[in-house]
Amino acid sequence: MNAPRPYVPHAGRHPSGNAQRQDWRHEIKIWWREIDRVLLLLVALLMAIGTAAVAAASPASADRLSTASVQLDEFMFFKQHLVWQVMGLGAMFGASILSREDARRAGVLLAGAMLFMLMLVPLIGNEVNGSTRWINLGIRFQPSEFLKPGFAILLAWVLTWRLRDPNLPVLPVVTAVMGLVAILLMLQPNLGDTLLFGGVWFVLILLSGISVQRVSALVGFGVAALTATYFLYDNARYRIDSFLGGGTAFDQVDLAERTLLAGGWTGSGLWLGVRKMNLPEAHTDYIFSVIGEEFGLLVCAIVVLLYLAIVVRVLVRLADEDNLFVLLAGAGLVTQIGGQAFINILVNLQLFPSKGMTLPLVSYGGSSTIAVCLTLGLLLAITRRNPYLQRETPGLMAMLGQKEEAA
């Protein structure tokens, strides 16, 4: 009797049948179980507020940018914003479904590619409003926006090299990367993003466990660099002098503060704001002021609390993390998002010099919206809970507890 032939699953069938669909569903179930759904909800709430805010600001920006020969649709920016948000959500989902290792590789590759693009900006970049920050390769984008998530992941990866060899010069390497980025950004000029990148670099240096003496030396170097920037960098000196000297009724920061306070606690109502019509960049840099006028200071407070909740949520999730790369990369990414948000809000409150920086997830933007969503997607991927993690270092809470006991 002939022996029965062994069963071969899907023999003679294309592999993209039911098995692949089941695998895909299985991956989605794993993603949904491991993802930080609270963080995802907070991001969705901010994006919803951003949609309403851009709808409120769109008529003001369209009217301001219209000419005698070209009249823009008053909801042009709102319609485009919806398209960018859909693309951003796609980027966020695509990044969040990556494993931690793939997210690290993607971040490092992104950092390398955007550093190269940043070097090309002085050569082939497009000038907008006196700054050369954009590259047009069929699609116009700012390399610095996409460098932000890659920068945090690259620095976190380099700092973890010390786990393999404590003698590796990781601090000089990450400092050299920061110096290169700062030089390229200052050439644009782009002081705001330079400070933001510097903040991310400093946070990662602190969390990496360097000595107090080195931290003190870095703080002294930072103060000296800022002082030198004021005296040697015209753009910085102009912005700081304008801020310290106080605004006038025609300064955009002063206009932003007046617009912000015009609606009182509850706002004037959607599309009923008046001061926003005189506000430059109402749909981007100063959208927080439009929220204040049309939706009220209470909604502004909710926006601030949502950003705080995102930062706290990520830090709480990282507190018991046992993977050094995850701890550093997650802290760097959330520092970038939170730092950019609070700089923008402080500018609108006339508590910080004008920086030309958008409000993440809320402001209108093309490449900036996609870049912020990509950043959050990588953050969601990195903070996914994996039950098979190998302990490299005690969690942040354990480290703090050990330091308190030693003290």
Beta bridge partners of 141: 135
306, part of any domain: yes
φ/ψ of residue 133, rounded to 5: -125, -10
Indicate the DSSP class of residue 98: S
261, part of any domain: yes
Beta bridge partners of 136: 140
pLDDT value at residue 84:
93
Distance separating alpha carbons of residues 185 and 131, to the nearest angstrom: 10
166, part of any domain: yes
- pTM of the entire structure? 0.84
Q: State whether residue 131 is helix, strand or coil.
A: strand
Q: Which residues of the chain have pLDDT under 50?
A: 1, 5-14, 248-250, 389, 391-393, 400, 403-404, 406-407
Distance separating alpha carbons of residues 282 and 195, to the nearest angstrom: 23
9, part of any domain: no
Residue-range definition of the domain harbouring residue 74: 35-385
pLDDT value at residue 166:
79
Beta bridge partners of 134: 126
24, part of any domain: no
44, part of any domain: yes
For 126, the enclosing helix (H) or strand (E) is strand 126-128
401, part of any domain: no
The verdict on whether omega for the bond into residue 15 sits within 30 degrees of 0, i.e. cis, is no
Structural contact between residues 303 and 49, judged by C-beta atoms closer than 8 angstroms? yes
Q: State whether residue 171 is helix, strand or coil.
A: helix
List the one residue out of 368, 322, 329 whose CA is nearest residue 103. 329
26, part of any domain: no
φ/ψ of residue 85, rounded to 5: -65, -40
Indicate the DSSP class of residue 282: T
284-320 pLDDT tens trace: 889 999 999 999 999 999 999 999 999 999 999 888 7
Q: How many domains does the chain have?
A: 1
Q: Which tokens go with 184?
A: 């390229």
pLDDT value at residue 8:
44
CA dist list (Å): 151 to 108, 112, 145, 196? 8, 9, 10, 11
Q: What residues contact 108, with CB distance under 8 A and at least 6 apart? A: 150, 153, 154, 157
Phi-psi region of 280 (alpha: psi -120 to 50; beta: other; left: phi over 0): beta
Percent helix, percent strand, percent coil in the chain, to nearest 5: 70, 5, 30
